[in-house]
């Protein structure tokens, strides 16, 4: 019979992401192999050895803190999680715990020590006043989140509300810590390049011995169904018939701003033909009144079959045009 991960963390099955992290925070510090508290730590399973519980605690957190693993566990139990299951989205491979409990602990607390940055801060809070020269505070590493944008959002600019979870002081004495959910409005300027970092200084985790980390949102682009971006320029592919390629046609295409762009194509559309619409691309980041260009290339559809009589007519037409067959 498998273990109940929720019971190991002493939380209900309806627990939120914050509840899971708070439960792990409390129990992991309490059960850390290197803690030297005089009193035996209280754990949800008193009959279990502390060493065994420590391993199960980290495995439970490794599963439940991952939304995908938690969903599989909730639907198929531990057996399905560790055997692999077939879902409507395809086969989900088996989960195997790494057994590297200290890595999970370090990824959560940013330290291997049960005292560093947490227990030491609670049992012996360091002075936080600037007039105490012994109070050395170190800034934590950046907390980086991707922020995915559509080309329309990049064109117009956007305000994205990004949800984060961070550590915050729970009391005025700045000793006790809690996890809080917060929403940060991220202002994205028009024409922002992919890979741009939008930084919120010292908006990350707080703590008695650290300077809050910066939260950094890095812009990524979602794939577009009609356009491909190249800097401030846009590229599109238009399907046309062989008839249109040879005798011309009226091209109608919707721009990135939603306007209908209409023009008459009177040239012969050969494989290298490109129609350029100046100023129909994305805004320049440094001057949003200026825009890049839209480049349209063409895919020509050829007929699958031409009757013999028509072939002869084509031959005559090409001879009159003095074109090679």
Question: Do 289 and 266 share a structural domain?
Answer: yes
Question: Which residue, of 178, 198, 221, is where some domain finishes?
Answer: 221
Is residue 224's pLDDT more than 90? yes
Question: Do 186 and 87 share a structural domain?
Answer: no
- CATH classification of the domain holding 156: 2.60.260.20
In a domain, 310, yes or no: no
For residue range 231-243, what is the model confidence (pLDDT) as tens digits? 999 999 999 999 9
Question: Do 99 and 25 share a structural domain?
Answer: yes
Question: Do 13 and 108 share a structural domain?
Answer: yes
Question: Do 186 and 270 share a structural domain?
Answer: no
What integer pLDDT is reported at residue 173 of this predicted model? Answer: 67
What integer pLDDT is reported at residue 130 of this predicted model? Answer: 38
- CATH classification of the domain holding 46: 1.10.287.110
| Report field, pTM of the whole predicted structure over 0.85 | no
Could you tell me the pLDDT band of residue 174, with boundaries at 50, 70 and 90? low
Question: Do 182 and 80 share a structural domain?
Answer: no
What integer pLDDT is reported at residue 129 of this predicted model? Answer: 40
Question: Do 114 and 152 share a structural domain?
Answer: no
What integer pLDDT is reported at residue 282 of this predicted model? Answer: 96
What average pLDDT is seen over the chain?
85
Distance, in Å, from the CA atom of 321 to the CA atom of 313, rounded to the nearest integer, reads 12
How many separate domains does the chain show?
Answer: 3
User: Which domain range does residue 211 map to?
Assistant: 138-221
């Amino acid at each position: 019979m498998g273990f109940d991960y929720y019971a190991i963390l002493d939380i209900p099955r309806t627990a939120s992401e914050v509840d899971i992290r708070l439960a792990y925070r409390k129990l992991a510090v309490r059960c850390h192999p290197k803690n030297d508290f005089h009193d035996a730590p209280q754990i949800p399973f008193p009959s279990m050895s502390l060493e065994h519980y420590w391993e199960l605690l980290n495995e439970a957190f490794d599963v439940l803190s991952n939304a995908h693993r938690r969903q599989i566990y909730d639907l198929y139990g531990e057996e399905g999680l560790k055997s692999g299951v077939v879902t409507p989205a395809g086969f989900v491979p088996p989960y195997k715990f790494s057994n590297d409990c200290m890595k999970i602990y370090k990824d959560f607390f940013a330290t291997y020590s049960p005292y560093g940055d947490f227990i030491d801060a609670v049992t012996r809070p360091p002075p936080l006043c600037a007039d105490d020269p012994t109070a050395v505070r170190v800034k934590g590493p950046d907390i980086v989140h991707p922020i995915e944008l559509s080309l329309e959002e990049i064109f117009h600019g956007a305000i994205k509300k990004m949800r984060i979870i961070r550590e915050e002081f729970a009391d005025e004495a700045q000793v006790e810590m809690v996890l809080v959910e917060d929403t940060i409005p991220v202002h994205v300027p028009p024409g922002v390049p992919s890979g741009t970092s939008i930084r919120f200084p010292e908006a990350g985790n707080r703590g008695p011995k650290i300077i809050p980390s910066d939260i950094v949102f890095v812009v990524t682009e979602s794939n577009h169904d009609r356009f491909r971006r190249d800097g401030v320029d846009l590229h599109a592919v238009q399907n046309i018939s062989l008839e249109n390629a040879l005798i011309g046609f009226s091209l109608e295409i919707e721009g990135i701003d939603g306007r209908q762009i209409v023009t008459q194509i009177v040239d012969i559309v050969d494989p290298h033909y490109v129609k350029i619409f100046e100023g129909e691309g994305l805004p320049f980041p440094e001057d949003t009144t200026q825009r890049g260009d839209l480049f349209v290339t063409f895919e020509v559809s050829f007929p699958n079959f031409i009757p013999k009589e028509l072939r002869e007519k084509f031959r005559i037409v090409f001879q009159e045009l003095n074109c090679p067959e």
